Structure 1
């Protein structure tokens, strides 16, 4: 019996309003139920020999919304620490590896904006600070404790803030240069008169998130709020929403189109391959009659909004077209689907076949189709014709669905 896939759990980091920092992300994770003892234990292990870090978690209100606020009380020499060596003290391999990735992201960003070597700590604002280490280890420990490692993770656009901020290097515009460097290629918004996203928060975000979305169709099951500093009526908090994708989920995509009448078949074939390899969701080419009765082709590309500008440039470059149309925010509805593997006996042997199965809202199978490349492989291995192999596979699928 082929059963529909279990509901996919989704973790959405919502930082479109108040941005993200390490302590706000950690507060939201603790609000979702992360074990404070596990978190503080890993922080203690990392900071051993460099000072004491006491994590304080309070229930506070931000613009009348109940949130968790995390503060670190740090005592010690205040000297710069080697964050890589410190994080190696954590037993969990996932936390260690992901922590090193976050530290390297911070290091490269700050080195780029200051024009220093990546190992020259003199100008590195976030790297080497015990409070930044506590943010990183704390967030990753809470993330792992909640079982979010391996889950689908998405983020909203990132609010960066505005105005000016003063730190060890002087007076700078918001966002901090390192924050903007880390979030290159990510959708962001500017505005306001305060810093909303910090370098550490940005580095954690890009390490944990799979993609950025403007719209998402999900069924929320729980929410966690992590508070920043009190900003009066402004809700200064990062929100994490955990839920499931709808069985028939919807999302928003962009569509790129261009008409061409002078491209060779080789050019069109390569253009499809290039666009798909660069992240297009689908590419199709349709024959058309253009002005003056000339035959041509309509090239259509479906893509995520974050990829639109980049893929549009590729489309124009590879096809030689002089322009393209962009339709933004087109709703796409998707049935729940899975890929099953079955075995069939043919030509004196056993052959594995991948089958794409789509399910309706009530879990009923609405379509099942064997993978084309697997059918071809069996044809070549057995010498049996395509129609017969296809019928045999479909018969096996029907039998399994009936419980035969």
Structure 2
């Protein structure tokens, strides 16, 4: 059985998942074409390229919004504005030695679709309708819908709202939509039949989000990870985001150590942050389990 294993030694986020899948051999150009079915490609460009994180060559994936700032967004962390107590301490560049040769792809303009919202928030209902109207492969649609539902239910629980009334900025953001559906497209493309994962480290400390200063893990992340083994980690930063938590919680059938398998490919997906003594990457291992 062709199995994908998430080795989340530095947490997991949507952009890290896509970066790791591309690094393991998935075709980002095919993903890019599939994503055009959402008809929101006038709102973003995609870039991916090789970087080195603390000695590990990995792939960095970014969704760059086409209005406002032209800098790559730390998009998996779009629900926050800044981190407290992160371990950058001036080491952001001196320890990363990044060599980022990105491929950026412009998109044609389309102006009609339920998701067209000028970078504003989208409702859970709008996202579901858009996925259903896009006519993705059934597996891609099912994975995407399940992940969005997981996040929507968590957000609804935290804010005291039924799923239908969840109107979110975080999950409704363009970058999160791309991360979730893009990951589903690449996983389907690679012919993955089962998913397993390590325990999930969440990090610690505090983050600033729209609602104020929150602890790490963020409430939505922790809600999503109910029933999932959480790994101890003393890094004072957010390592696992709601999107990353939902991808692992929904797709992984089991959580534990690397299973006995014949390894076929390995991918490293880079996170945005750089830590002094810790490679901020997600490793995925793909192989056959007998």
* Gap change, CA 1:119 and 1:232, over 3 Å in 2: same
Larger Rg, first or second structure (1 or 2): 1
Aligned residue number for residue 176 of structure 1: 218
1:37-48 matches, cutoff 5 A? 37-46=29-38, 48=39
TM value normalised by structure 1: 0.55
CA contact (8 A) 1:126 1:200 kept: no
2:11 pairs with 1:19:
yes
1:104-147 residue CA offsets vs partner (Å, 9 max, x unmatched) = 1110001111112212234x352321111010111011111111
Query: Number of residues paired by the alignment?
Result: 234
C-alpha root-mean-square deviation of aligned residues, in Å? 1.7
Q: Deviations over 1:192-227 (max 9, x none)?
A: 201011101111112211111135333323210000
Matched, 1:104 2:149: yes
- For residue 154 of structure 1, give the secondary structure of its aligned residue in structure 2: strand
Q: Distance in 2 between matches of 1:80 and 1:50?
A: 16
CA contact (8 A) 2:26 2:189 kept: yes
Give the Cα–Cα distance (whole angstroms) in 1 for the partners of residues 141 and 219 of structure 2.
Answer: 26
Superposition TM-score, scaled by structure 2 size: 0.76
Matched, 1:235 2:226: no
Write out per-residue CA displacement over residues 319-364 of structure 1, whole angstroms, 9 at most, x where no aligned residue: xxxxxxxxxxxxxxxxxxxxxxxxxxxxxxxxxxxxxxxxxxxxxx
Unaligned runs of 5+ in 2: 68-117
Change (3 A) 1:94 1:223: same
Structure 1: runs of 5+ lacking an equivalent:
1-7, 248-404
Cα drift, residue 234 of structure 1: 1.4
Tell me if structure 2 keeps the 8 A contact 1:31–1:226.
yes
**Counterpart in 2 of 1:342?**
none
Residues in 2 aligned to 1:136 and 1:217: alpha-carbon distance in whole angstroms: 28
1 or 2 for the larger relative contact order (CA 8 Å, sep ≥6)? 2
Q: Does the CA contact (< 8 Å) of 1:162 and 1:190 recur in 2? A: no
Q: Once superposed, which parts of structure 1, at least 4 consecutive aligned residues long, lie more than 4 Å away?
A: none
Match of 1:79 among 120, 127, 139: 120
Contact 1:20–1:196 (Cα < 8 Å) also in 2: yes
Matched, 1:29 2:17: no
Of Structure 1 and Structure 2, which has the larger fraction of its residues in strand?
1
In structure 2, what is the Cα distance between the partners aligned to 1:53 and 1:108? 27
TM superposition shift of 1:51? 4.1
Matched, 1:114 2:159: yes
Listed one character per residue, the Cα deviations across residues 67-114 of structure 1 (whole Å, up to 9, x for unaligned) are: 000001112522223211222214312111221111111100011111
